[in-house]
Structure 1
Amino acid sequence: MTEQNLMEGAKQITSKIKISLLERDMSQVELSRLISEHPVQVNRAIHADMSPKSLAIRKKIYRVLDIKE
């Protein structure tokens, strides 16, 4: 995978989550409370950090916001 592909994938992840939050009129802080994670960690996950912790948080986010992976 090229760097360009990685950047595009990261943008798509971020966009999906942000749009879903806007549609629900929900903030990242509210989301973090809902999934019992620290807001900074949630922000990293939303911005496509690839650490194991961020991947696990994104799975929670997808489940709560009903986003298909």
Structure 2
Amino acid sequence: MNEQALLNSARTVEKQIKINLLNRGMSQRDLSDLIGENPTQVNRAIKGDMSPKSIRIREKIYTVLNIEE
């Protein structure tokens, strides 16, 4: 996958998460408290960071927000 495709995928995931947060009236801070993760790490995960920790955080986010991977 080229860099542009990766960037587009990351943006799509970020939008999906943010829309789900808005629909639930939640902030990223609320989400980080709910899943027990640092708000900065949650933001990195939402923005598309590909570190193993960010991937695990996104999995938690998908579960909490009922997003299918």
User: What is the TM-score with the length of structure 1 in the denominator?
Assistant: 0.98
Which residue does the alignment assign to 2:36?
36
- The whole-number CA distance in structure 1 between the counterparts of 2:49 and 2:68 is 18
Q: How many residues align?
A: 69
Runs (4 or more) in structure 1 with deviation over 6 Å come to none
Which residue does the alignment assign to 2:54?
54
Identity %: 59
- The whole-number CA distance in structure 1 between the counterparts of 2:3 and 2:44 is 19
Q: What runs of 5+ residues in structure 2 fail to find an aligned partner? A: none
User: What is the TM-score with the length of structure 2 in the denominator?
Assistant: 0.98
The structure in which a higher percent of residues are helix is 2
Q: What runs of 5+ residues in structure 1 fail to find an aligned partner? A: none
Root-mean-square deviation (Å): 0.4
